[in-house]
Structure 1
Amino acid sequence: MGQEIARARFSDADFDVFRQRLLEETALLDRYVRRGMCSSRGPITGFELESWLVDSEMNPAPVNAAFLERFGDAQACPELAKFNVEFNSEPQVLSGSVLSLLHLELADLWRKASSAAESLGVALVAIGILPTVPAAVLNLSNISELNRFRALNEQILSARRQEPLKLDISGHQHLAVKHQDVMLESAATSFQIHLQVPLERVRDYFNTAVLVSAPLVAVSANSPFLFGKDLWAETRIPLFEQAVDVGGFREASQGPLHRVGFGSGYARRVITEIFEENFEHYPVLLPILSETPPDRFAHLRLHNGTIWRWNRPLVGFDPDGCPHIRVEHRVIPAGPSIVDMIANAAFFYGLMEALANEPGEPLIPFAQAKDNFYQSARYGLGAHVVWRGGVKLPIKSWLLYELLPKAETGLRRLALAEADIARFLSIIEQRIVSGQTGSEWQRRFIAKHPGEFSTMTREYLTCQKSGEPVHRWPL
């Protein structure tokens, strides 16, 4: 989805040809995987950080084109709305002092980008949902000037037979609104972690990413408010799912297969089952035809980019051109601070390495992993989850006494620097003990200052600039 396209309208023939090429590439990828013809490199990581541009009143500032021109760095690109931008890291091998390197890289990138924004009279904010965003600005006049975004909007509305999108979220309060386009999606921004592992381990690591989604979304929650309503600890989850509410084939829009969601199950035998499901169950949205050879998987990659599982496999290429399959973990929101995001990544890497190397199949059924995820997104550190043997646990105890030690074991298995392990996992530990996630800080602020969302966002930005982890933020 990161590529620009030449046009936004398509013919029936475009869809037919695209689908035939998609079938060929899906079968080819399966042969590559079964014959061991994909990369054995890894573990290698990278990230995407989506963020907001805001004006002096902390309202969305639709100036990403001017910002990107001023910033002038290929690591930044536009997002769906003119008030959002995305930053991408360089791939890094997961070893040694990589956590410190990732922290320094992201902090330096953010500092330069913030200076570019400030030179335009605006500011950058990394937060899951901007508390001040009004529904009225989420319209097509604020869609970024790229054909791919307009085509996406048209095709999603066409798949819905022009029916409006509906938000219906029950949390601490209730929100029900209708919307005429996909711009609701732009209200949700995330910190997405990519993890490449050797081909023979991709299935195990993908399944483990599904398994750890619940603890990661609980400990990183940073999106409680939308349109003035206090909803979930991580409201970004139901917001994104409902903002692109399109199902599969044959009137399946209300069925189990949604284009944004937790997925339909673990990968049972091989990771290409996920790409086969893409072909069999999801109609093509953007039939952009490519003349590149089938082994570049252009059609498969584009189609996969229009199916937004919270964990999804991605096809990419090593520097030598060898194809690889990596896991994209999408559950973590942007923010609250740079060091918090790297701590979240460290916790993810450690849990992935520890749990993916435990013997046997995934530790709990997929249906339970899914339920744990939504409970954790809704209640944050107040959630209860079900773990081995059907035992129900308060998530704080599970995090502190079982998962943190496992994450430490996993990071040591990766041979990461001991000082980095101690530094970043201690941030996770103190966040759990204090109970102050980004979400809870926002809720505590509004409890003291009801309705003061602009004031809160300004204070949030001040704290973010301080570089302190969120568990130390004052009210």
Structure 2
Amino acid sequence: MGEKIVAGGFALSDRQRHREKLRQCLDAFARLLKEKRFERPKNLMGLEIELNLAGPDGMPRMLNDQVLERIASGDFQTELGQCNLEVNIVPHRMHGRVLDQLSEELRTGLAYADRKAGEVAAGIVMIGILPTLAADDLVPANLSRADRYRLLNDELLAARGEDFTIDIAGVERLTCTSASIAPEAACTSVQLHLQVTPRRFADVWNAAQAVAAVQIAVGANSPFLFGRELWRESRPPLFVQSTDTRSPELSAQGVRPRTWFGERWIDSAQDLFEENLRYFPPLLPISSDEDPMKVLDDGGAPHLSELALHNGTIYRWNRPVYAVSDGVPHLRVENRVLPAGPTVADVIANTAFYYGLVRALCEQPRPVWTRLPFAMAAENFDVACRDGIEARLHWPRPGRGPSVARTPAVRLVLEELLPLAAAGLDAWGVERTDRDRYLGVIAERCRRRINGASWQSDTYHHTLATGLAREDALAAMTRRYCTLMRTGEPVHTWPVGAAG
């Protein structure tokens, strides 16, 4: 949703024209695939991180305009809520010392942003959901001051026709309603992009879907929402419910939510774009003057802006992306599974694990998605969100035909998936020293059964036991988290105990 959009009403004719333009875009996309007009592989990856703003007291700060003005860098942008920012790292080739390069760029950029935020008594926090956020913080008045967010909010709310309902039962239960999509701003994630050829797209997307649950199990970092302890990774259920345009009746009929894991393995990128048009009505019927078929006839690369805009309002955990760069179209898989944080070291470890594992799984002679039913992959995702590092996941048994067994995630990672990730990073040409350093972070999380979510929960309960009230214990835990985050040491090394 990075496009500039000017708020305004839509006429019936706007929606009819937009739907027709979407069909034209899909036809043009199919022609691009058939005529093999996409960019040749460059092994490019990209990284985006959504961030929170909090004060020295651990409480949220609705100051992103002021902070961005002080940062004054195009690498940092607004996000949905005024307590959010996003940082974008320029694309890198997956090769050599790329992991350490990413780490250094992130450390430098975040430290600078943190200093600038300090000028208005705020700080940068990398965390899936800021534990001190209250429902009263995420209201329409605290949406970022950009037309696209207001317009998206208005259209989602109009499509639903009533307040959004948040109802999540985990360690505790949270029920509330919202007259806007503002609760979605509680969710801050890491987005990993991988540019792929059309021929490789389906394999990469299928592999990313298969490992989404494993990513959550080892990387969960969002156990609290609005003062309640819920799932180990509470972002996915919150995201589903805070953008859900379905009434209860439509949900009961099986209408798909706009935040969606999917329902099948795919054979082509076109499968996903077709599903997006078939199942989801456009929210923002903004049409360009581009005639995509004429652009193709003239030898150009159409931007397919209607398709790209529609795609940006469907929140798949692994999203297909079409874009044009330097006049040449390309495809990316955007992995949106991971929460932000806890530290740069943890983010780069999660990044290394994902890219290495996807590469290795794509090159297996019998890919995992041919042996794991899609319904089990979807179930794995929910289980990992609920249980985090303690999750037990369905996974095909090595060398035993089609048999699938439930295995503790930590054992699966240590015994099978980390060696695969290492082989995948070797195939990318990543420096072995960096490979071992960052995959070692994942290994230690599994051996110690500690990730961001378990640390938050354990520290909160230790602090609560000292006699502090719930809100004070959450604030104390958040302050301790921020202190340790700034050390840069990975979360599995953090001491667990009462936070002061």
TM-score of the aligned structures, taking structure 1 as reference length: 0.97
- Whole-angstrom CA distance in 2 between matches of 1:262 and 1:431: 26
- Whole-angstrom CA distance in 1 between matches of 2:167 and 2:131: 18
Deviations 1:65-118 (A, max 9, x none): 111111100011111111111111100011111111111111111111111101
Determine if contact 1:53/1:122 at 8 Å carries over to the other structure. yes
Determine if contact 1:169/1:176 at 8 Å carries over to the other structure. yes
1:338 maps to amino acid: V
1:468 aligns with 2:489: yes
**Identity over aligned residues, as a percent?**
38
2:348 corresponds to which of 339, 342, 364:
342
Q: CA deviation at 1:265?
A: 1.6
Q: CA deviation at 1:256?
A: 5.0
In the TM superposition, 1:52-451 aligns within 5 A as 52-161=52-161, 163-247=162-246, 251=250, 255=254, 257-267=256-266, 269-294=267-292, 295-318=302-325, 320-361=326-367, 362=369, 363-388=371-396, 389-450=403-464, 451=470
Determine if contact 2:198/2:268 at 8 Å carries over to the other structure. no
Determine if contact 1:247/1:255 at 8 Å carries over to the other structure. no
Determine if contact 1:385/1:393 at 8 Å carries over to the other structure. yes
Q: CA deviation at 1:264?
A: 2.3
Q: CA deviation at 1:55?
A: 2.0
Q: CA deviation at 1:43?
A: 1.9
Q: CA deviation at 1:391?
A: 1.2
1:414 maps to amino acid: W
- Whole-angstrom CA distance in 2 between matches of 1:169 and 1:180: 18
CA 408–424 in structure 1, closer or farther in 2 if over 3 Å, else same: same
2:308 maps to amino acid: R
Q: CA deviation at 1:197?
A: 1.9
Alignment partner, residue 48 of structure 1: 48
- Whole-angstrom CA distance in 2 between matches of 1:137 and 1:325: 37
1:317 maps to amino acid: V
Determine if contact 1:247/1:253 at 8 Å carries over to the other structure. no
Deviations 1:266-291 (A, max 9, x none): 21x21111001111111010112223
SS of residue matched to 2:87: strand
- Whole-angstrom CA distance in 1 between matches of 2:11 and 2:440: 55
SS of residue matched to 1:391: strand
1:347 maps to amino acid: F
- Whole-angstrom CA distance in 2 between matches of 1:274 and 1:21: 17
Gaps of 5+ in 1: none
SS of residue matched to 1:8: coil
SS of residue matched to 1:353: helix
Determine if contact 1:82/1:144 at 8 Å carries over to the other structure. yes
- Whole-angstrom CA distance in 2 between matches of 1:253 and 1:75: 42
- Whole-angstrom CA distance in 1 between matches of 2:109 and 2:262: 33
CA 449–412 in structure 1, closer or farther in 2 if over 3 Å, else same: same
Q: CA deviation at 1:252?
A: 5.8
TM-score of the aligned structures, taking structure 2 as reference length: 0.92
Alignment partner, residue 11 of structure 1: 11
- Whole-angstrom CA distance in 1 between matches of 2:137 and 2:253: 28
Deviations 1:178-210 (A, max 9, x none): 111100100110011111122211111011110
SS of residue matched to 2:341: coil
- Whole-angstrom CA distance in 2 between matches of 1:122 and 1:48: 21
Gaps of 5+ in 2: 293-301, 397-402, 465-469
Determine if contact 2:160/2:246 at 8 Å carries over to the other structure. no
- Whole-angstrom CA distance in 1 between matches of 2:6 and 2:150: 12
- Whole-angstrom CA distance in 1 between matches of 2:474 and 2:251: 39
Deviations 1:193-240 (A, max 9, x none): 111122211111011110010100110000001112111110111111
1:279 maps to amino acid: L
Deviations 1:273-330 (A, max 9, x none): 1001111111010112223452111110000000000111101223x32111100011
Task: Number of aligned residue pairs: give it.
Answer: 471
- Whole-angstrom CA distance in 1 between matches of 2:290 and 2:65: 29
Determine if contact 2:198/2:269 at 8 Å carries over to the other structure. no
Determine if contact 1:165/1:179 at 8 Å carries over to the other structure. yes
1:152 maps to amino acid: L
- Whole-angstrom CA distance in 2 between matches of 1:118 and 1:382: 37
SS of residue matched to 2:308: helix
SS of residue matched to 2:322: strand
- Whole-angstrom CA distance in 2 between matches of 1:121 and 1:380: 33
- Whole-angstrom CA distance in 2 between matches of 1:104 and 1:291: 42
- Whole-angstrom CA distance in 1 between matches of 2:246 and 2:8: 21
1:421 maps to amino acid: R
Determine if contact 2:7/2:150 at 8 Å carries over to the other structure. no
- Whole-angstrom CA distance in 2 between matches of 1:39 and 1:210: 24
SS of residue matched to 2:347: helix
- Whole-angstrom CA distance in 2 between matches of 1:113 and 1:168: 35
- Whole-angstrom CA distance in 2 between matches of 1:7 and 1:183: 17
SS of residue matched to 2:90: coil
